[in-house]
């Protein structure tokens, strides 16, 4: 997703106790569900030398419902407590064909991560909120103009001190370090799913 038709993504995450509480807070703040809870499987691609990661960029193939999206994200920069980065997305299908193209270009699947995502918005406003249920907990992601993010976060009872600007992959690495859990499989749900 990008803010208001640009290729610059501005976002933060907020940790939530659970998905039901996140939804209740967002609805009380005037947002409504625009896309029902959907399972997402993401594969991050890199070169064997990890050159994409070394540049702090990302190449991702996301499968979400019937849709597959290839995303490039540039190196992030931070301003006003928010994370900003270039984002370019292209719908691709079938996913397997795109994986083959990436392999021919020298990329390999470096990591997988999964989540259930619900999207919400306020009519006539430029931002998007998502509830992301991940193997390490539930987060609300707010993406849009800085003033929209600030107003919406305040409506959820959160302020700049609560803003998380790390990527899910960085959060997962921290989670694995502190919990002693290995991250070689990526951020994926267990077999009980």
User: pLDDT per residue over 154-192, tens digit each?
Assistant: 999 999 999 999 999 899 989 988 888 766 668 999 865
Q: Which domain range does residue 91 map to? A: 3-179
Q: What is the pLDDT of residue 3?
A: 44
| CATH number, position 32 | 2.40.320.10
Count of domains forming the chain = 1
pLDDT tens-place string over residues 75-86: 999 999 999 999
Q: What is the pLDDT of residue 191?
A: 67
Bridge partners, residue 13, by sequence: 141, 164
Residue 8 falls inside a structural domain: yes
Residue 70 falls inside a structural domain: yes
Residue 184 falls inside a structural domain: no
pLDDT beneath 50, residues of the chain: 1-6, 193
């Amino acid at each position: 997703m990008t803010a208001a038709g640009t290729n610059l993504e501005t976002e933060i995450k907020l940790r939530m106790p659970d998905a039901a509480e996140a939804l209740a807070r967002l609805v009380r703040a005037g947002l409504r569900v625009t896309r029902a809870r959907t399972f997402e499987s993401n594969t991050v691609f890199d070169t064997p030398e990890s050159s994409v990661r070394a540049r702090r960029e990302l190449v991702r193939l996301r499968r979400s419902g019937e849709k597959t999206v290839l995303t490039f994200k540039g190196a992030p920069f931070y301003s006003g407590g928010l994370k900003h980065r270039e984002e370019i997305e292209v719908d691709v299908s079938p996913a397997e064909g795109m994986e083959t193209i990436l392999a021919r270009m020298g990329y390999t699947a470096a990591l997988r991560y999964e989540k259930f995502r619900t999207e919400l918005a306020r009519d006539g406003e430029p931002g998007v909120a998502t509830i992301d249920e991940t193997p390490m907990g539930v987060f609300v992601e707010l993406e849009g103009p800085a003033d929209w993010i600030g107003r919406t976060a305040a409506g959820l009872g959160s302020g700049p001190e609560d803003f998380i600007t790390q990527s899910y992959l960085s959060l997962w690495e921290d989670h694995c370090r502190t919990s002693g859990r290995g991250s070689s499989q990526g951020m994926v749900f267990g077999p009980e799913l």
